[in-house]
């Protein structure tokens, strides 16, 4: 957004305050300057020279999850996340990024080899102790920079790219051909989930291509205001995605999906789909096996609010025999992860997560299903802290189990506090 566009976007705000009722940060902090309206007012005053920049003001701009809750609610159609992104970009341009963000955004993200090395380092650290958390998670017993005491996935020795072939085996009469854009979290943090996505697509007669040279979608760079890194990553991915002929580009991480839809799609011939959208469009096979459980679904903000994908995941869950679905009272509520937000503001993120976990548990569900690896990470931590034994699963894993590819988790393997 150019400065003129930001001003035009901000002028649309009539200060009605409707956004306050849905802003997860305001709901915890209860301070006007931490509400959507407060943030927009401060950025506007800064831009018009009424106030000058301060560290405190900078914090207000950083303490936003970019969750789209406010934009969805706003009667004037103010696209708040665009205003926040523009303000962050200006801040990064004038003041540079904080050191830890510089390392993450400029050093690690653009380089696949660095991410692999980081995973190897993570596995090494995990071998030094910490606590095993059932469900494939681990709690560090020592302080880790940024991750401190968060429940983290137990890292696999292989990335998704080492687990599955880059081109799926030949299918005689395929229903279609998809490129799977996995993103960093499914490729490195949750490769088994990424593998489940591939298996489910393949089982449904879809040829799957997984380009091993795909890189981060760039959202962490964009959200940190580092446009240059974002542009570099976008261009690298576009080169990779344009090379493959396919009916669709499938993502199973809504943050990647919304970034691709918003910032990549104009340059791509193939349409971009969330995993659930693609399966429904491909007339997926309903599973035969029972997945006997009371289940609720957590809508990732970047799927429900940014991509407006609400029904497909529910339709898939409804097709699985044995599932009893219970909708949460507040289906659109944010889990509080927000990518790097969860790392830089762990206390606030945890408070938001606590409220979300509470409303999911109120349904009486025996499993929480979602479509986002970031939400999985946050909800596993939030449920663990509430002494809950309810596991969090990605929709692709549930479907893979219902098709009979994966073993269901045993009672001992679910996330359990200790």
Residue 343 touching ligand SF4 (CB under 6 A) = no
How far apart, in whole angstroms, are the C-alpha atoms of residue 392 and residue 415? 8
Check if the beta carbon of residue 207 is closer than 8 Å to that of residue 176: yes
Residue 258 touching ligand SF4 (CB under 6 A) = no
Q: How many CB atoms lie within 10 A of CB 47?
A: 17
Burial (CB count <10 Å: 0-12, 13-18, 19+), residue 103: middle
How far apart, in whole angstroms, are the C-alpha atoms of residue 69 and residue 72? 5
- Taking the complex as a whole, the smallest distance from the CB of residue 84 to ligand SF4 amounts, in Å, to 6
> Which residue in the set 9, 42, 70, 376 belongs to the binding site for ligand SF4 (CB under 6 A)?
70
β-pairing, 137-139 with 131-133? antiparallel
Minimum CB distance to ligand SF4 smaller for 24 or for 122 = 24
Check if the beta carbon of residue 53 is closer than 8 Å to that of residue 46: yes
- Taking the complex as a whole, the smallest distance from the CB of residue 25 to ligand SF4 amounts, in Å, to 5
Residue 105 touching ligand SF4 (CB under 6 A) = no
- Taking the complex as a whole, the smallest distance from the CB of residue 376 to ligand SF4 amounts, in Å, to 20
Per-residue interface string for the shown chain with ligand SF4, residues 11-30, x marking contact by CB under 6 A: --xxxxxxx--xxxx-----
- Taking the complex as a whole, the smallest distance from the CB of residue 307 to ligand SF4 amounts, in Å, to 15
How far apart, in whole angstroms, are the C-alpha atoms of residue 54 and residue 10? 20
Residue 152 touching ligand SF4 (CB under 6 A) = no
Residue 65 touching ligand SF4 (CB under 6 A) = yes
Residue 375 touching ligand SF4 (CB under 6 A) = no
Q: How far does the chain reach from its first CA to its final CA, in angstroms?
A: 48
Check if the beta carbon of residue 209 is closer than 8 Å to that of residue 270: no
β-pairing, 137-139 with 152-153? antiparallel
> Which residue in the set 6, 28, 40, 335 belongs to the binding site for ligand SF4 (CB under 6 A)?
40
Residue 43 touching ligand SF4 (CB under 6 A) = no
Residue 144 touching ligand SF4 (CB under 6 A) = no
Residue 61 touching ligand SF4 (CB under 6 A) = no
- Taking the complex as a whole, the smallest distance from the CB of residue 15 to ligand SF4 amounts, in Å, to 5
Residue 223 touching ligand SF4 (CB under 6 A) = no
> Which residue in the set 66, 119, 253, 380 belongs to the binding site for ligand SF4 (CB under 6 A)?
66
Check if the beta carbon of residue 279 is closer than 8 Å to that of residue 197: no
Question: 């085996």: which residue's tokens?
Answer: 169
Q: Which of 181, 388, 413, 416 is nearest to 296 (CA)?
A: 388
Residue 274 touching ligand SF4 (CB under 6 A) = no
Check if the beta carbon of residue 1 is closer than 8 Å to that of residue 85: yes
> Which residue in the set 28, 42, 61, 80 belongs to the binding site for ligand SF4 (CB under 6 A)?
80
Return the range that interacts with ligand SF4 (CB under 6 A); candidates 64-72, 180-188, 199-207, 319-327.
64-72
Burial (CB count <10 Å: 0-12, 13-18, 19+), residue 404: exposed
Question: 């995941």: which residue's tokens?
Answer: 313
Q: How many CB atoms lie within 10 A of CB 409?
A: 17
Minimum CB distance to ligand SF4 smaller for 307 or for 388 = 307
> Which residue in the set 6, 9, 57, 74 belongs to the binding site for ligand SF4 (CB under 6 A)?
74
> Which residue in the set 28, 36, 276, 344 belongs to the binding site for ligand SF4 (CB under 6 A)?
36
Return the range that interacts with ligand SF4 (CB under 6 A); candidates 66-74, 149-157, 234-242, 246-254.
66-74
Residue 356 touching ligand SF4 (CB under 6 A) = no
Return the range that interacts with ligand SF4 (CB under 6 A); candidates 49-57, 71-79, 136-144, 372-380.
71-79
How far apart, in whole angstroms, are the C-alpha atoms of residue 221 and residue 26? 25
Check if the beta carbon of residue 167 is closer than 8 Å to that of residue 244: no
Q: How many residues bind ligand SF4 (CB under 6 A)?
A: 28
- Taking the complex as a whole, the smallest distance from the CB of residue 393 to ligand SF4 amounts, in Å, to 25
Cα-Cα-Cα-Cα torsion 73, 78, 79, 84, nearest 10 degrees, comes to -110
What SS3 state is found at 256? Answer: helix
Residue 64 touching ligand SF4 (CB under 6 A) = yes
Return the range that interacts with ligand SF4 (CB under 6 A); candidates 48-56, 74-82, 247-255, 356-364.
74-82
How far apart, in whole angstroms, are the C-alpha atoms of residue 287 and residue 323? 11
Check if the beta carbon of residue 253 is closer than 8 Å to that of residue 180: no
Residue 86 touching ligand SF4 (CB under 6 A) = no
* Positions that interact with ligand SF4 (CB under 6 A): 13-19, 22-25, 36-37, 39-40, 64-70, 73-74, 76, 78, 80-81
């Amino acid at each position: 957004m150019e400065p003129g566009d930001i001003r035009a976007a901000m002028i649309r705000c009539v200060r009605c305050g409707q956004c306050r009722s849905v802003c997860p940060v305001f709901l915890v902090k209860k301070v006007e300057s931490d509400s959507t309206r407060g943030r927009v007012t401060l950025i506007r005053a800064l831009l018009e020279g009424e106030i000058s920049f301060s560290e405190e003001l900078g914090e207000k701009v950083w303490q936003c999850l970019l969750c789209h809750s406010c934009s969805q609610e706003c009667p004037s159609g103010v696209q708040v996340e665009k205003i926040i992104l523009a303000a962050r970009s200006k801040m990064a341009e004038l003041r540079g990024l904080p050191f830890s963000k510089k390392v993450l955004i400029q050093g690690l993200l653009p380089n696949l080899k660095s991410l692999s090395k980081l995973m190897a380092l993570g596995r090494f650290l995990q071998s030094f102790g910490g606590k095993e958390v059932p469900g494939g998670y681990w709690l560090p017993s020592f302080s880790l920079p940024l991750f401190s005491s968060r429940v983290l996935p137990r890292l696999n020795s292989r990335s998704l790219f080492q687990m599955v072939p880059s081109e799926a085996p030949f299918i005689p009469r395929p229903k279609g051909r998809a490129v799977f854009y996995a993103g960093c979290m499914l490729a490195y943090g949750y490769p088994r989930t990424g593998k489940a996505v591939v298996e489910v697509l393949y089982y449904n007669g879809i040829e799957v291509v997984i380009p091993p040279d795909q890189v981060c979608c760039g959202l962490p760079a964009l959200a940190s205001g580092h446009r240059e890194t974002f542009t570099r990553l976008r261009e690298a991915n576009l080169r990779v995605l344009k090379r493959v002929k396919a009916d669709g580009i499938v993502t199973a991480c809504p943050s990647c999906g919304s970034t691709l839809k918003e910032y990549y799609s104009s340059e791509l011939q193939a349409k971009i789909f969330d995993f659930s959208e693609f399966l429904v469009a491909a007339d997926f096979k309903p599973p035969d096996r029972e997945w006997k459980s009371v289940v609720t679904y957590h809508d990732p903000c970047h799927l429900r609010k940014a991509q407006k994908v609400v029904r497909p995941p529910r339709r898939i869950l409804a097709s699985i025999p044995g599932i009893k679905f219970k909708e949460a009272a507040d289906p659109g509520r944010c889990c509080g992860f927000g990518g790097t937000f969860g790392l830089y503001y762990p206390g606030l993120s945890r408070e938001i997560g606590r409220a979300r976990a509470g409303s999911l548990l109120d349904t009486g569900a025996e499993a929480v299903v979602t479509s986002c690896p970031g939400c999985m990470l946050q909800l596993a931590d939030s449920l663990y802290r509430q002494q809950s034994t309810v596991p969090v699963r990605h929709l692709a894993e549930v479907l893979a189990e219902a098709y009979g590819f994966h073993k269901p988790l045993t009672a001992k393997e679910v996330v359990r506090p200790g």
